[in-house]
Amino acid sequence: MSKYKIESIYAISMIILFSTVYLTIIVLTLVLLYDGYLEWFANKQGTEFGFYTGIIGLILLAGLVWALFPRKKEGIILKKEDAPKLFELVNEAVKKTGIEKINTIRIVPGSSIAVTGLFSKELLIGVASLRHISEKDFEAILFHEIGHFAAQDTKVGSFLGVYFETLQKQYVSSVNFWNYSPHYAIAIIGLPSLAMSWILLNIFSFLYAPYSKFREYKADELASTNTSPQVFGNALVHYASYTHAHDTIMPQIIVEHLTKGKKLTNVYATMTHFWNEENAKAAMNAILQDNESFRDSHPSIKNRLEHLDVKKIGNNNGKPLKNLFHNFENFEEALSDDYTIKIGISAGILNRNIKSLD
Q: Report yes or no: 294 and 214 within 8 Å, Cβ to Cβ.
A: no
- Closest C-alpha to 208, from 9, 2, 5, 11: 11
Q: Identify the burial level of 129 via C-beta atoms within 10 angstroms of its C-beta, where 0-12 means exposed, 13-18 middle and 19 or more buried.
A: buried
DSSP 75: S
Model pLDDT for residues 20-54, shown as the tens digit of each residue: 888 999 999 998 888 888 777 766 665 667 778 88
DSSP-derived 3-state class of residue 122: strand
The answer to whether residue 278 scores a pLDDT higher than 60 is yes
Model pLDDT for residues 89-119, shown as the tens digit of each residue: 999 999 998 888 899 999 999 889 999 887 8
Per-residue pLDDT band at 1 (split at 50, 70, 90) = very low
Q: What's residue 319's pLDDT?
A: 85
Q: Report yes or no: 253 and 269 within 8 Å, Cβ to Cβ.
A: no
Domain-wise residue ranges, the chain: 3-69+156-210, 76-154+214-346
Neighbours of 32 (CB within 10 A): 26
Q: What percent of the chain has pLDDT over 70?
A: 96
Q: What's residue 53's pLDDT?
A: 86
Report DSSP letters for 333-348, one per residue. HHHHHHHHHHHHHHTT
Q: What's residue 219's pLDDT?
A: 92
> What is the four-CA torsion angle of 334, 338, 340, 346, rounded to 10 degrees?
-170
Q: Report yes or no: 148 and 221 within 8 Å, Cβ to Cβ.
A: no
Model pLDDT for residues 206-249, shown as the tens digit of each residue: 888 888 898 899 999 999 999 999 999 999 999 999 999 888 88
